[in-house]
Amino acid sequence: MRRAIALILTGIACFGNSPVASADRLDEMISPITNPVNFEDPRARTEVRPIFVYHKLDKDFVTQGGDVRIYALQARYAVNDRFALIATKDGYVVMHPDEVLNDETGWGNVAAGFKYAFYKDGQSGQIATAGLRYEIPMGNRDVLQGYGDGMINPFMSAATTLGPVNLMMGTGFRLRFNDEDSSFFDFDLHADTKFGWFSPSLELNVVNVLQSGKRLPIPDEGQDYFNFGATESEGTTIVTAGIGGRAQLADNVSFGLAYQFPISSGAGSHVTDWRVTSDLILSFN
């Protein structure tokens, strides 16, 4: 009897120290999909992420409709489990406006920087990260890139778990060096839950224009990817919602897809009718 009791106690102790009990809950989260240039996952990971964006312009925008397509590739390198180097903006831009502008193609600006998780608790699924990016104005002006002297982007992102739901938040400032450009404040929210290999997600994106530029005499700014330097945009805000999810195709490969639409209206919200963002994350951690 004593031997049986000892075996049972040993089994309970082993179960209490099992990998399941000490698993890193941060690994159960998925990366956000919408606003990929600015909404940064707080976790430090080594990955490459091809991205395709199809952006439909609203009929009330200055171009009276049309579309923009962006083909981009992000890269991140985790120096350790807290610090990572990031390159989050680049890409080839194809513009098809209905009026005012001509069809144009060209390269986007490049933005790169770093992030550091100053708080991290894997068991409870909590992390908080601060980072800094610089956008280099090296793109083609035919696609409204390459203007000004670039932008500096201090940002923060965080994540936590709430039962079966994973929550992620990001916020930051995109601050101009040249008053021809506009300056922005960004705020993003993400929620997901896991059903086997698929994680549905809901996202909310807010872009507020802190300072208007001096380049184009219009009230609508370029949301997350473009900086029009819109002269009538100061104080305007565009709020969009995104519905989508991420499928885990393999241990180190996931596919994300989201449909994004504006929930604000009026001046500042006409740049977007709707948008579809897709990505493929290849992880090397």
Domain locations along the chain:
2-283
Indicate the pTM of the whole model: 0.89
Report the alpha-carbon distance of residue 88 to residue 74 in Å, rounded.
5
pLDDT at residue number 23: 65
pLDDT at residue number 8: 35
Check if the beta carbon of residue 5 is closer than 8 Å to that of residue 13: no
Check if the beta carbon of residue 244 is closer than 8 Å to that of residue 229: no
> How does strand 83-89 pair with strand 183-193?
unpaired
Query: Could you report the per-residue pLDDT of 64-120, keeping only the tens digit for each?
Result: 999 999 999 999 999 999 999 999 999 999 999 999 889 999 999 999 999 999 999
User: How far separated are the first and last CA of the chain, in Å rounded?
Assistant: 48
What six digits make up the tokens of 56?
């439909």
CATH assignment, 2-283? 2.40.160.40
What is the rounded average pLDDT for all residues in the chain?
92
Query: Could you report the per-residue pLDDT of 208-220, keeping only the tens digit for each?
Result: 999 999 999 999 9
**How sure is the predictor about 5, in pLDDT bands with cuts at 50, 70 and 90?**
very low
In the chain, what's the furthest Cα-to-Cα distance? 88
pLDDT at residue number 267: 87
pLDDT at residue 28 tops 80:
yes
Count the alpha carbons within 13 Å of 257 in the hemisphere toward its beta carbon.
4
E strand segments, 163-197: 165-176, 183-193
